[in-house]
Amino acid sequence: MRPRIAYLGDSPLPGPASYLAGIMTHYGLPFLHVPPEAPPPEEAFAEGVGLYILSDYPSVRIPADSMRRLCERVRDGAGLLMLGGWESYHGLGGDYDATPLAELLPVVISSRDDRRNWPQLILVRKRLEHPILAALPFDRPPGIGGYNEFQARPSATAILEGERYRIHCAEGPAAFTAEGRFPLLVVEEKKRGPRGAGRRACLATDVAPHWVGGFVDWGDERLTVRMGADFIEVGAWYAEFFRNLLTWTLG
DSSP string, 43-55: GGGSTTEEEEEEE
Quick check: 13 and 213 in contact, CB under 8 A? no
Tens of pLDDT, residue by residue over 95-104, are 999 999 999 9
Distance in angstroms (rounded) separating the CA atoms of residues 98 and 157: 23
Name the pLDDT band for 3 (thresholds 50, 70, 90). confident
What per-residue confidence (pLDDT) applies to 191?
73
**Across residues 12-19, what is the average pLDDT?**
96
Q: Looking at this protein, which amino acid is placed at residue 202?
A: C
Lowest mean pLDDT among 170-174, 209-213, 232-236: 170-174
Q: In angstroms, rounded to a whole number, what is the distance separating the alpha carbons of residues 184 and 107?
A: 11
The backbone torsions φ and ψ at residue 246, rounded to the nearest 5 degrees and listed phi first, read -70, -45
Taking the C-alpha atoms of residue 87 and residue 96, their distance in angstroms, rounded to an integer, is: 9
Query: E-strand spans in 169-211?
Result: 175-189, 199-203
Task: Name all domains of the chain by residue range, CATH numbers in brackets.
Answer: 4-250 (3.40.50.880)
**Which phi and psi (to 5°) does residue 96 adopt?**
-75, -15
Q: Is the pTM of this model over 0.85?
A: yes
Q: For 175-226, write each residue's pLDDT tens digit.
A: 999 999 999 999 999 875 444 579 999 999 999 999 999 999 999 999 999 9
Three-state SS for 106-158 is CEEECCCCCEEEEEEEEEEEECCCCHHHCCCCCCCCCEEEEEECEEECCCCEE
- What pLDDT, on the 0 to 100 scale, is given for residue 190? 84
Instruction: Give the other-Cβ count within 10 Å of 10's Cβ.
Output: 29
Mean pLDDT of all residues in 223-244? 96
30 closest CA partner among 17, 43, 21: 21
